[in-house]
């Protein structure tokens, strides 16, 4: 496999805003992506992530702010002068052209010589392992193959920045992880600075150098997947990334909270609470310990997840409390068993009800 | 590591499963096939047989000889010319309308305009002809108005009963028909193609030339052929408008079966009818090709 | 700014074109039809003229009856056909598609010649002959409408649910499919109904005398009156179809809203 490393560009987005009527899709949004880095924008639909990407691409206008690539003002350029590669959700391949013609499109527009085009197309086909499909039409390809061609087409022009707009959302679950890993491999290989937009947190965590979680047109937190999961800075991030139990609790003071009968410290970034206030504590399933008991809480559901198993426990609260343990450990429990649950961390995040 | 072989192709396997199944007669479709067989296929095959019979019931091709010269040949040429001219004008005007509706009208306005187009497209016939007599007849307000403005259409040789007049009238159902049949193809153009073109560095003109026109071409041809068939064989409008001074194939066939002409020419009526079908069949096969081509890309 | 300018100039150009091509002639004929006696003033004389003609009611009721029968027969034939094409018999879809486009391509006069040769005499003497041919002529329009209406609903799931709950095929079609695809089915009905009322070619060539052929005959006596009649029928058809379109688009909107809140 040919290794080619292009020196990536730095993308600096500062303070862009965009309103659609009364809806503020983007609110002074800023983000810097280092050369060769892959950053994911993650958030629920309508959080502004796609708008941000489309403004960088020039497909949408911004009301305020700037976008720079390597110090050069991008917004001053027309969309077709920006040298940006873009991969769409689906159906973006030109249906009247073969795979090779699709990949060659950007190069033909740039009036490259025939030899240059053929050489580059061959390289790209090799990169996405679709040499055998070079003369096929898009409708003859599977969804996953189509997206690989779309990626090859976007990279063929050696873009300064690559933008991916939910490129996996139209694919089957199985294909999705394969293409996801393939995108990451190719991105590292080409060293292209990349902005990836998705609403799927697992996808974002798996593929990115850094993940930016967005809500209401603003960046809530941007960090490595690891930090984001273990040290969320807002309750929204904690709730959106990974699975979380929201356990009704009562604050003992402004620093301590009583959760399931245990007194725990309130972590920073929590809502500000006062003594006696009813709050919800955010506890990860792997932080909940389950042991056998003769009475009390009861296991209602048990889901096998491979190496891990998740059980749902009825502890007399409105919702089940989920705990995760190794599947080996889980053999000891069955649905209907009475159990005692406890929290294994000393610090929890709480939010006001 | 290559992923080529591991990508599951669920659709392909489903197709295989289908083709392996044994042929089974589609009984639920039997009523449809019987109906179409009796009221469409059977009458047309009777015409074909009649066109190949002489007056004493023996087989012959002689009924077809008049089609290739004289007045009947001339009538075929005229009808084809009318078909081509009105289909071309109708297709261009209709495509423009369809484009504007597709690009700028909201869903509500679109459904209203669709309905209006449907009425116009199906109004080819007697009401249309009357409307035109009202608008363009020598006595019509519009003609008088133009005359008072110094443009005397009739003095320039215009007549609603002429070739040009018929062409003008036909546009009124051809263009709306084009809107109906061509707009789905326009709506099938995806926003992503335009945006992909832009991000790859193409101009709007590149998009039109390399993407939009090639994709729409089969649909345009198919629609044009459909319009041609309609214009070529339109009967009611022509009957109401012409007083026999423009020879058109549908009118001649109609006269033959109405017995307006000497009745030992019934076999000639059959061969003319088959001739007309043959021309429609040429348009039809082009239409089928275009349909296949354009539905292949639409997925 | 640049984009907006070109947008408005396109809309403007096309509006102007449609004004010249469509609005002017039709308003001219409207004006013409409103002229009073001896071309003086404007009133409804011409519109009322038709009512006083001998045979008005009998011809109109015959045409309405034929249109109604054609509309109903069309549904009885095509709703089950289209349903099965969407379910288990998809591979016949392109064949049926092809057959249904034939009546639009094949010259109607040729079909009329064939009808003269092929129809048994009991049918030639029955007005059902016309109804059957109206159904054939309406196929290109009704099949397309039904086909897209059925594509828009989750037909397979609905049918499987109904069948697994023990409903027969006729009950499934009448109670599940017809209500679910009401919009498309009613426009299919009205399309064939309208075609049945306005059809001229095959009617006159098979020597039937319906409202359409009758109007053509009596129009020799009063050109203004016949123009008034066609203007009226034209406006009426537009009003009818626009109403159907608005009602069904409203319904769709409502359904969508319901779907979103649930």
CATH of the domain at A264: 2.40.50.100
Report the CATH number of the C46-261 domain.
1.10.3720.10
Residue B15 has pLDDT above 50, yes or no: no
**B32 Cα to chain A: minimum distance (Å):** 32
A196 and A309: one domain?
Answer: no
A106 and A206: one domain?
Answer: yes
Q: Give B130's contacts in chain C (Cβ within 8 Å).
A: 29, 219, 223, 226-227, 229-230
Q: Which one is predicted more confidently, A243 or C76? A: C76
What is the residue whose two structure tokens read 């009458």?
B43
Torsion of CA B124, B125, B129, B132, to 10 degrees: -20
**A234 Cα to chain B: minimum distance (Å):** 35
Q: Give B203's contacts in chain A (Cβ within 8 Å).
A: 80
A71 and A15: one domain?
Answer: yes
For residues A256 and A260, give the distance between their C-alpha atoms in angstroms, rounded to a whole number: 13
What's the whole-number mean pLDDT along residues A317-345?
Answer: 91
How does residue A46 score in pLDDT terms, banded at 50, 70 and 90?
confident
Instruction: Write down the pLDDT at residue B200.
Output: 94
Chain-chain contact of C117 with B50 (C-beta, under 8 angstroms)? yes
Strands A347-352 vs A262-266: parallel, antiparallel or unpaired: parallel
Share of chain A above pLDDT 70, in %: 98
C-alpha distances out from residue A186 to A192, A200, A319, C32, C258, Å: 9, 20, 43, 73, 44
For residues B245 and B160, give the distance between their C-alpha atoms in angstroms, rounded to a whole number: 11
CATH number reported for the structural domain that contains residue A166 in this entry: 3.40.50.300
How many domains is chain A partitioned into structurally? 2
Q: Give A89's contacts in chain B (Cβ within 8 Å).
A: 192
The answer to whether residue A6 sits within a structural domain is no
At C53-77, the pLDDT tens digits run 888 889 989 999 999 999 999 999 9
Q: Is A26 helix (H, G, I), strand (E, B) or coil?
A: strand
Q: Give C192's contacts in chain B (Cβ within 8 Å).
A: none
What is the residue whose two structure tokens read 């459904």?
B111
- The token pair at A244 is 């979380």
Among the listed ranges A165-169, B134-138, C64-68, C229-233, which one has the minimum average pLDDT value?
B134-138
What's the whole-number mean pLDDT along residues A216-231?
Answer: 91
For residues C244 and C262, give the distance between their C-alpha atoms in angstroms, rounded to a whole number: 27
How does residue B70 score in pLDDT terms, banded at 50, 70 and 90?
confident
- CA nearest to B85, candidates B171, B196, B23: B171
For residues B117 and A341, give the distance between their C-alpha atoms in angstroms, rounded to a whole number: 69
Own/partner pairs, C214-220, CB within 8 angstroms, 24+ separation: C214/C55, C214/C59, C215/B126, C215/C50, C216/B126, C216/B240, C218/C53, C219/B130
What's the whole-number mean pLDDT along residues A217-230?
Answer: 91
Looking at the DSSP bridge assignments, the partners of residue A72 are A69
Chain-chain contact of B190 with A91 (C-beta, under 8 angstroms)? yes
Q: Give C91's contacts in chain B (Cβ within 8 Å).
A: 18
A87 and A221: one domain?
Answer: yes
Tally the C-alpha atoms within 13 A of residue A246's C-alpha that lie toward its C-beta. Answer: 13
**A142 Cα to chain B: minimum distance (Å):** 7
Residue B1 has pLDDT above 60, yes or no: no
Last residue of a domain, one of A206, A237, A268: A237
For residues B218 and B66, give the distance between their C-alpha atoms in angstroms, rounded to a whole number: 35
At B236-263, the pLDDT tens digits run 888 877 655 778 899 888 888 776 554 5
Residue A339 has pLDDT above 90, yes or no: yes
A148 and A221: one domain?
Answer: yes
The answer to whether residue A3 sits within a structural domain is no
Chain-chain contact of B4 with A59 (C-beta, under 8 angstroms)? no
A210 and A317: one domain?
Answer: no
Chain-chain contact of C249 with B107 (C-beta, under 8 angstroms)? yes
- Hey, which residues 84-143 in chain A have their CB within 8 Å of chain B? 84-86, 88-96, 105-106, 109-110, 129-130, 132, 137, 139, 142
Share of chain C above pLDDT 90, in %: 16
Q: Does B188 touch chain A (CB under 8 A)?
A: no
Chain-chain contact of B115 with C242 (C-beta, under 8 angstroms)? yes
Instruction: Write down the pLDDT at residue B11.
Output: 39
- H/E stretch holding C99: helix C93-105
Subunits next to A (3 or more Cβ pairs <8 Å) are B
The answer to whether residue A73 sits within a structural domain is yes
A262 and A158: one domain?
Answer: no
Q: Which one is predicted more confidently, B286 or C217? A: B286
A130 and A259: one domain?
Answer: no
What is the residue whose two structure tokens read 């549904």?
C75
Looking at the DSSP bridge assignments, the partners of residue A322 are A312
Last residue of a domain, one of A192, A213, A237: A237
Q: Does B299 touch chain A (CB under 8 A)?
A: yes
- The token pair at A322 is 């989920």
A206 and A269: one domain?
Answer: no
What is the residue whose two structure tokens read 């069949």?
B281
Among the listed ranges A82-86, B138-142, B216-220, which one has the minimum average pLDDT value?
B138-142
Q: Find the farthest-apart pair of alpha carbons in chain B and give their distance in angstroms, rounded.
A: 82
Residue B7 has pLDDT above 60, yes or no: no
What's the whole-number mean pLDDT along residues B286-294?
Answer: 86
Q: Does C123 touch chain B (CB under 8 A)?
A: no
Mean pLDDT of chain A: 90
Residue C7 has pLDDT above 90, yes or no: no
Q: Compute the 3-state secondary structure of chain C and give helix, strand, coil in percent, each to the nearest 5.
A: 85, 0, 15
Mean pLDDT of chain B: 81
- The token pair at B232 is 């070529």
Which of B190, B199, B210 faces A84 most closely, judged by CB atoms? B199
A193 and A272: one domain?
Answer: no
Which candidate in B18, B20, B86, B134 is best for mutational testing of the C interface (most C CBs within 10 A)? B134
Chain B residue closest in CA terms to A128: B2
How does residue A29 score in pLDDT terms, banded at 50, 70 and 90?
very high
| Separation of first and last alpha carbons in chain C | 41
Share of chain B above pLDDT 90, in %: 32
**B10 Cα to chain C: minimum distance (Å):** 18
Instruction: Write down the pLDDT at residue A168.
Output: 92
What's the whole-number mean pLDDT along residues A84-111?
Answer: 93
For residues C154 and C175, give the distance between their C-alpha atoms in angstroms, rounded to a whole number: 15
- The token pair at B217 is 């071409």
Residue B234 has pLDDT above 80, yes or no: yes
Is there a contact between B238 and B251 (Cβ–Cβ < 8 Å)?
yes
How does residue C251 score in pLDDT terms, banded at 50, 70 and 90?
low
The answer to whether residue A329 sits within a structural domain is yes
The answer to whether residue A273 sits within a structural domain is yes
Which of B195, B203, B297 faces A59 most closely, judged by CB atoms? B195
For residues C58 and C71, give the distance between their C-alpha atoms in angstroms, rounded to a whole number: 20
- CA nearest to A69, candidates A39, A107, A34: A34
For residues C234 and B131, give the distance between their C-alpha atoms in angstroms, rounded to a whole number: 10
Q: Does C99 touch chain B (CB under 8 A)?
A: yes
Q: Find the farthest-apart pair of alpha carbons in chain A and give their distance in angstroms, rounded.
A: 79
At A59-72, the pLDDT tens digits run 999 999 999 999 89
Cα torsion B209, B210, B215, B221: sign: positive
Task: Provide the residue range defining the domain that includes A140.
Answer: 11-237
The answer to whether residue A242 sits within a structural domain is no
Last residue of a domain, one of A187, A214, A237: A237
Q: Give C59's contacts in chain B (Cβ within 8 Å).
A: none
A61 and A195: one domain?
Answer: yes
Q: Which residues of A64-97 are buried (b: 16+ CB within 10 A; e: fewer)?
A: ebebbbeeeebeeeebbebbbbbbbbbbbbbbbb
Residue B3 has pLDDT above 50, yes or no: no
Highest mean pLDDT among A27-36, B111-120, B153-162, C215-224: A27-36
Residue A132 has pLDDT above 80, yes or no: yes
For residues B64 and A160, give the distance between their C-alpha atoms in angstroms, rounded to a whole number: 70
Among the listed ranges A39-48, A183-192, B178-187, C9-18, which one has the minimum average pLDDT value?
C9-18
**B25 Cα to chain A: minimum distance (Å):** 30
Chain C residue closest in CA terms to B273: C110
Chain B residue closest in CA terms to C14: B97
**B203 Cα to chain A: minimum distance (Å):** 7
How does residue C15 score in pLDDT terms, banded at 50, 70 and 90?
confident
Q: Which domains, and CATH codes, for chain B?
A: 65-297 (1.10.3720.10)
Q: Which one is predicted more confidently, A343 or B67? A: A343
The answer to whether residue A30 sits within a structural domain is yes
At B71-96, the pLDDT tens digits run 899 999 999 999 999 999 999 999 99
A191 and A324: one domain?
Answer: no
Is there a contact between A90 and A170 (Cβ–Cβ < 8 Å)?
yes
How does residue A125 score in pLDDT terms, banded at 50, 70 and 90?
very high
What's the whole-number mean pLDDT along residues B35-54?
Answer: 91
Instruction: Write down the pLDDT at residue A205.
Output: 92
For residues B249 and C2, give the distance between their C-alpha atoms in angstroms, rounded to a whole number: 51
How does residue B156 score in pLDDT terms, banded at 50, 70 and 90?
low
Instruction: Write down the pLDDT at residue B2.
Output: 39
How does residue A2 score in pLDDT terms, banded at 50, 70 and 90?
very low
Beta carbons within 10 angstroms of residue A115's beta carbon? 8
For residues B31 and C207, give the distance between their C-alpha atoms in angstroms, rounded to a whole number: 28
């Amino acid at each position: 496999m040919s290794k080619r490393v292009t020196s990536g560009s730095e993308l600096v987005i500062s303070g862009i805003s965009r309103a659609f009527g009364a809806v503020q899709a983007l609110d002074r949004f800023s983000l810097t992506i280092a050369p060769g880095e892959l950053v994911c924008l993650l958030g629920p639909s309508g959080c502004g992530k796609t708008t941000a990407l489309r403004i960088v691409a020039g497909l949408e206008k911004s009301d305020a702010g700037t976008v720079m690539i390597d110090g050069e003002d991008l917004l001053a350029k027309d969309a077709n002068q920006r040298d940006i590669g873009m991969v769409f959700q689906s159906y973006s391949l030109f249906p009247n052209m073969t795979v090779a013609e699709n990949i060659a499109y950007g190069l033909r527009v740039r009036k490259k010589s025939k030899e240059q085009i053929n050489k580059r197309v061959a390289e790209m086909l090799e990169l996405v392992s679709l040499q055998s499909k070079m003369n096929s039409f898009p409708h003859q390809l599977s969804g996953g193959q189509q997206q690989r061609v779309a990626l090859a087409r976007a990279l063929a022009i050696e873009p300064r920045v690559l933008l991916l707009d939910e490129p996996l959302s139209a694919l089957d679950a199985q294909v999705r992880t394969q293409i996801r890993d393939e995108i990451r491999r190719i991105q590292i290989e080409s060293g292209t600075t990349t902005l990836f937009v998705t609403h799927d947190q697992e996808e974002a965590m798996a593929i990115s150098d850094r993940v930016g979680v967005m809500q209401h047109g603003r960046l809530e937190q941007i960090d490595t997947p690891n930090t984001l999961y273990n040290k969320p800075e807002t309750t929204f991030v904690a709730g959106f990334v990974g699975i979380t139990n929201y356990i009704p609790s009562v604050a003992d003071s402004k620093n301590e909270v009583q959760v399931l009968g245990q007194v725990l410290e309130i972590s920073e970034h929590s809502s500000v609470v006062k003594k006696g206030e009813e709050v919800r504590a955010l506890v990860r399933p792997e932080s909940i310990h389950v042991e056998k008991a003769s009475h009390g809480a009861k296991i209602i559901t048990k889901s096998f997840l491979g190496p891990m198993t998740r059980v749902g426990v009825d502890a007399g609260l409105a919702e089940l409390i989920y705990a995760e343990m190794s599947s080996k450990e889980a053999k000891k429990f069955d649905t209907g068993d009475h159990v005692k649950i406890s929290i294994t961390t000393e610090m929890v995040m709480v939010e006001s009800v | 590591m290559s992923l080529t072989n591991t990508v599951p192709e669920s659709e392909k396997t489903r197709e295989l499963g289908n083709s392996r199944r044994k042929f089974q007669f589609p009984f639920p479709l039997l009523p449809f096939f019987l109906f179409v067989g009796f009221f469409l296929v059977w009458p047309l095959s009777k015409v074909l047989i009649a066109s190949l019979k002489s007056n004493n019931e023996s087989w012959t091709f002689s009924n077809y000889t008049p089609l290739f010269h004289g007045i009947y040949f001339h009538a075929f040429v005229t009808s084809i010319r009318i078909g081509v001219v009105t289909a071309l004008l109708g297709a261009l005007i209709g495509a423009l309308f369809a484009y504007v509706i597709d690009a700028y009208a909201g869903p509500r306005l679109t459904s209203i305009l669709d309905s209006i187009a449907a009425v116009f497209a199906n109004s080819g016939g007697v009401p249309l002809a009357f409307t035109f007599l009202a608008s363009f007849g020598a006595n019509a307000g519009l003609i008088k108005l133009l005359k008072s403005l110094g443009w005397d259409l009739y003095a320039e040789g215009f007549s609603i009963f002429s070739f040009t007049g018929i062409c003008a009238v036909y546009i009124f159902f051809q263009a709306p028909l084009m809107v109906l049949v061509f707009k789905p193809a326009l709506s099938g153009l995806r926003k992503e193609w335009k945006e992909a073109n832009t991000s790859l560095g193409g101009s709007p003109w590149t998009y039109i030339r390399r993407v939009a026109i090639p994709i729409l071409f089969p649909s345009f041809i198919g629609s044009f052929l459909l319009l041609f068939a309609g214009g070529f064989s339109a009967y009611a409008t022509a009957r109401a408008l012409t007083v026999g001074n423009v020879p058109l194939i549908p009118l001649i066939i109609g006269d033959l079966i109405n017995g307006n002409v000497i009745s030992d020419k019934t076999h000639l009526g059959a061969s003319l009818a088959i001739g007309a079908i043959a021309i429609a069949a040429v348009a039809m096969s082009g239409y089928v090709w275009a349909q296949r081509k354009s539905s292949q890309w639409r997925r | 700014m640049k984009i907006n300018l070109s947008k408005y100039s396109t809309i403007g150009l096309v509006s102007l074109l449609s004004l010249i091509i469509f609005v002017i002639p039709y308003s001219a004929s409207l004006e013409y039809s409103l002229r009073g006696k001896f071309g003086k003033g404007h009133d409804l004389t011409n519109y009322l003229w038709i009512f006083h003609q001998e045979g008005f009611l009998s011809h109109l009721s015959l045409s309405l009856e034929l249109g109604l029968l054609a509309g109903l027969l069309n549904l009885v034939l095509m709703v089950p056909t289209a349903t099965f094409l969407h379910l288990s018999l998809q591979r016949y879809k392109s064949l049926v598609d092809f057959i249904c486009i034939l009546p639009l391509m094949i010259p109607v006069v040729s079909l009329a010649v064939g009808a003269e040769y092929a129809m048994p005499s009991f049918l030639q003497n029955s007005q059902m002959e016309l109804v059957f041919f109206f159904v054939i002529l309406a196929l290109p329009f009704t099949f397309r409408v039904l086909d897209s209406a059925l594509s828009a609903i989750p037909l397979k799931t609905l049918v499987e649910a109904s069948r697994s709950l023990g409903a027969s095929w006729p009950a499934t079609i009448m109670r599940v499919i017809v209500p679910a695809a009401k919009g498309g089915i009613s426009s299919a009905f009205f399309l064939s109904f309208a075609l049945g009322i306005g059809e001229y070619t095959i009617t006159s060539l098979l020597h039937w005398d319906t409202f359409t052929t009758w109007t053509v005959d009596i129009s020799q006596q009063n050109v203004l009156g016949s123009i008034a009649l066609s203007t009226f029928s034209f406006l009426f058809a537009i009003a009818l179809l626009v109403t159907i379109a608005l009602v069904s688009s409203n319904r769709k909107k409502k359904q969508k809203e319901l779907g979103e809140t649930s």
